Structure 1
Amino acid sequence: MSELVTPQGFPPATGPLVDRFERSKHKLRLSLTDRCNFRCHYCMPEDPEWLPREQLLSFEEFERVSRVFITRLGIDRIRLTGGEPLMRRGVSGFVGQLNGLRELGLERISMTSNGVPLRRHAADLAAAGLDDINISIDSIDPERFRRMTGGGELDTVLAGIRAARNAGLGMKLNAVVIRGDNEDDIVPLTEWAMGEGVPLRFIEFMPLDARGGWQPQRVVPEREIIDRLAERHSVEATPRTREPATYYRVDGAYSLGVISTVSNPFCATCDRVRVTATGEIYPCLFSPMNTDLKTPLRDGASDDDLEHVIRGAVWRKGKGFAESAGYVQRAITMHGLGG
C-alpha cells in the first residue's frame, strides 16, 4: 500500500474522499446511539454509562453531515449503526430524511441491528426507504445465545428476522466467532441459515471488546471456519472483491462470507468512514484518534468548513489493523463507535 503525497502534503481540496494511501471512501457509517438492549461482552462494558441525549447529534445534524458527505465527497452508501440504532426514537423518520438525499447521489441506506426491535419497526423502515439490514446472531442455540448476549432471547431475534423478510428488506446475518464461546455453532448456524435462504457472514473476533478479554488464541481464523464446514459440505472459494468478506459457495449454491480482519485483513481496500453518535469522525475501526465534527457543526461552520474537516480526518487515516495488530488504547468502545 503506497502513500499518496500531494505537493503540500495535505489532502486534495476537491474530488473523491481519499486517504494518504490512495483508498477512496464511498461508505459512511453513522452510529445513532450507544444504547443497546443486549450486553455482548465483545462490544459492551459490563456496566455501561449511557451518553446524555444532549451530547448526541440530532437527526437534523446527521442529515446535514450526510448531505456534505454525499454532495461534496462522493459517499453513496450510508449504514446506520449503534449500539442498537432502533433504541433511539424516530429512526424510521430519519431514514425518510436520508431517502430524500437519493436525488443528490445516495444509492443505498442500510442498517445493522440485533434484530429484536424489528418486530415493531421493520415495516415502517421499509416504507421509509431502508434497503437492507444486517442482523447479528452469534448462536442458534438458545442457551448459548443467552450467555453471549447477556440475557438475550433467541426467539425475539428470529421474530425480527421474520419481520424483516415480510417487510421485503434485503438481509444478511452476522456472527462473531469466539473460541470457547460459539465455535461449535459454525456448522449448525450455517445449516440453519441455508435452510432459511438468508446469507450469513462469520466475523473473526477482533481486539475491540469492551472487557479486555481478547486474546489471539480466542480467534477462530477463516481457515478453521472453512475447514469445519468442509467436514460436512462442499465449500468453494470465490474471487475476493473490495468487500470486507471473502465469499464461499457451500454445496454449489449457498453464499457464505467470512470477514477475516485478524488473519487476513482487508485494510488495503477499505472504503469506509465512521461518525459516532457524538459527532466524532473515526476513519478506521482501529483508529486511536478521532476528529471532532460536532463543535464546528454547532458553531455555525459552513459546508466548506465541514468538508475541510472531513477531508483532513480521512487523510490522516492509518493503514488499519494490518499496521496496529493489537488493542487500540482509547476511551470509546464498540457500542459507542458502531460496528
Structure 2
Amino acid sequence: MQNENKLIDKYGRRFRYLRLSITDVCNFRCNYCLPEGYQCDSDRDFLAVNEIQTLVRAFAGLGTRKIRVTGGEPSLRKDLTDIIALCANTQGIDEVALTTNGFKLQSKVQSWQQAGLTSLNVSIDSLDPRQFAAITGHDKLREILAGLEQATALGLKVKVNAVLLKPYGEGQLHGFLQWLKTTPLTLRFIELMQTGDNQTFFNDNHVSGQPIKQQLLAQGWQSVVRPNTAGPAEEFWHPDYAGRIGLIMPYSKDFCASCNRLRVSALGKLHLCLFAEQGLDIRPLMQAGDVAALQQRLRDLLGQKDASHWLDKGYTGATRHLAMLGG
C-alpha cells in the first residue's frame, strides 16, 4: 500500500487509531473534570449518523483499524448502538471500543456487544463506594461493577480507567491490586492532566505514575508488548494475578513518540492532539459525504501535528476539560 493511502506525519508516526467523540455531555460530576457538572457551552449540534459514516469510511480507507467511541458520556446518545454497528460494519475496521462511565452498562452492554463492540473501557476511580461517590457525584459503584461482570461474560475485552489522585495514594493502589488478584481485566492508572480549568486542582492532586511503575517492577510485574493499535498505556502482568495493570504517564519522557491516534470532536473538528491549540473543522466534507475529499483534507492537516503535547511545560491548548474530547 502506498503512503498516500496511510496517515503518516512528518515525524514518521503512523495513525491507525481514531478516538471519536459523539457528545460532550456527561451526567457525572468528577472532581478532576466537571466538578460543577456539565455546562452547555455549544449548540449541541452533534455529529449525525450519516456524517459519522463518511468519517469512518474515510479513516478506514487511510489505514485506521481501531475506533474508540467516546464523550462526554457516549451512552447518553440514544443512537449509540447504531453508531457502534456502523463502525463495526465498515470495511477495514477491526476493533470498535467504547469508553463510558458505566452508568448504563448493565442495561445496554449486551446490545452494544451484539452491534459489534469488541472492547470496553469503564472509568472507576475508586473501589471504595464512598470515595467513588465523592469523586463522581454518583453512588453507582455496585451497579457499575455488576455491569463489568456482564461485559466480561459476553467476551468483551474490558479495561478499567482510574485517575491517580494524591489524597487516595497507597490506599487506591492497594485496593485495586487486591481486586486484580482474582479479576481478569486490565486496570490502567492515568496521571491527572492539567487542563484549562483545573490548575489549582492539578497542583494539589497530581501524582506521578513513575514510583508505581518502579514498585510494580520490584514486585515481579513484567512488561507486556503493545500491539500497533494500542493506546499509550505501559502494561504489566504478574503470574500471581488474574488481571493486568497499565500506566498512562503523559508527563514521562518521549510519551508522544509512539502516538498513533487522532481525535474528532462531537462537533466535527479534527484534533491533532488532546492538547492542540484548536480543533480543525472537517465537518463540511462529512456533511457532503465526500470520502475522497475528506481523506485528502486529513492528509493535509496531519502536516500540522507537533512532535509533542508540551504538557510538561504547562501547555494545555484549547482543552478546558477532558469531557470535551473524551481524553
- Structure 2 residue corresponding to 1:25, chosen from 6, 9, 15: 15
Conservation of the 8 A alpha-carbon contact between 1:273 and 1:314: no
Conservation of the 8 A alpha-carbon contact between 1:190 and 1:200: no
- Distance between the aligned counterparts of 1:68 and 1:240, measured in 2? 26
Instruction: State the shift of 1:247 in Å.
Output: 2.1
- Distance between the aligned counterparts of 2:272 and 2:216, measured in 1? 34
TM-score by length of 2: 0.89
User: Which residues in structure 2 correspond to 1:1-339 (within 5 Å)?
Assistant: 14-44=4-34, 46-50=36-40, 55-71=45-61, 73-101=62-90, 104-208=91-195, 210-215=197-202, 218-227=205-214, 233-238=219-224, 243=230, 244-251=232-239, 254-298=243-287, 300=288, 302-322=290-310, 325-330=313-318, 332-339=320-327
What value does the CA root-mean-square deviation take over the aligned residues? 2.5
In 2 relative to 1, CA 23–323 (structure 1 residues): closer, same or farther, beyond 3 Å? farther
| Bigger Cα displacement from structure 2, 286-295 vs 208-217 | 208-217
In 2 relative to 1, CA 161–249 (structure 1 residues): closer, same or farther, beyond 3 Å? same
- Distance between the aligned counterparts of 1:14 and 1:240, measured in 2? 26
Q: Render the CA deviation track for 1:33-88: whole Å, top value 9, x for unaligned.
A: 111221112222524323667611101111111101111x1111100001111111
- Distance between the aligned counterparts of 2:111 and 2:289, measured in 1? 34
Conservation of the 8 A alpha-carbon contact between 1:164 and 1:171: yes
Counterpart secondary structure, 1:55: coil
TM-score by length of 1: 0.86
Number of aligned residues: 323
Q: Render the CA deviation track for 1:130-168: whole Å, top value 9, x for unaligned.
A: 001011111111111111112342112112212212322
Return the letter of the residue paired with 2:48.
S
Instruction: State the shift of 1:120 in Å.
Output: 0.8
Instruction: State the shift of 1:100 in Å.
Output: 1.6
Q: Render the CA deviation track for 1:73-118: whole Å, top value 9, x for unaligned.
A: 11111000011111111111221122221xx211111111111211
- Distance between the aligned counterparts of 2:201 and 2:8, measured in 1? 31
Instruction: State the shift of 1:287 in Å.
Output: 1.1
Instruction: State the shift of 1:331 in Å.
Output: 5.8
In 2 relative to 1, CA 217–262 (structure 1 residues): closer, same or farther, beyond 3 Å? farther
Unaligned runs of 5+ in 2: none
Instruction: State the shift of 1:266 in Å.
Output: 2.1
Q: Percent identity?
A: 31
- Distance between the aligned counterparts of 1:322 and 1:240, measured in 2? 24
In 2 relative to 1, CA 52–239 (structure 1 residues): closer, same or farther, beyond 3 Å? closer
In 2 relative to 1, CA 52–261 (structure 1 residues): closer, same or farther, beyond 3 Å? closer
- Distance between the aligned counterparts of 1:157 and 1:265, measured in 2? 35
Counterpart secondary structure, 1:274: strand
- Distance between the aligned counterparts of 2:318 and 2:233, measured in 1? 26
Instruction: State the shift of 1:265 in Å.
Output: 4.6
Instruction: State the shift of 1:295 in Å.
Output: 3.1
In 2 relative to 1, CA 183–113 (structure 1 residues): closer, same or farther, beyond 3 Å? farther
| Bigger Cα displacement from structure 2, 25-34 vs 48-57 | 48-57
Unaligned runs of 5+ in 1: 1-11
Conservation of the 8 A alpha-carbon contact between 2:196 and 2:316: no
Conservation of the 8 A alpha-carbon contact between 1:109 and 1:130: yes
In 2 relative to 1, CA 297–236 (structure 1 residues): closer, same or farther, beyond 3 Å? closer
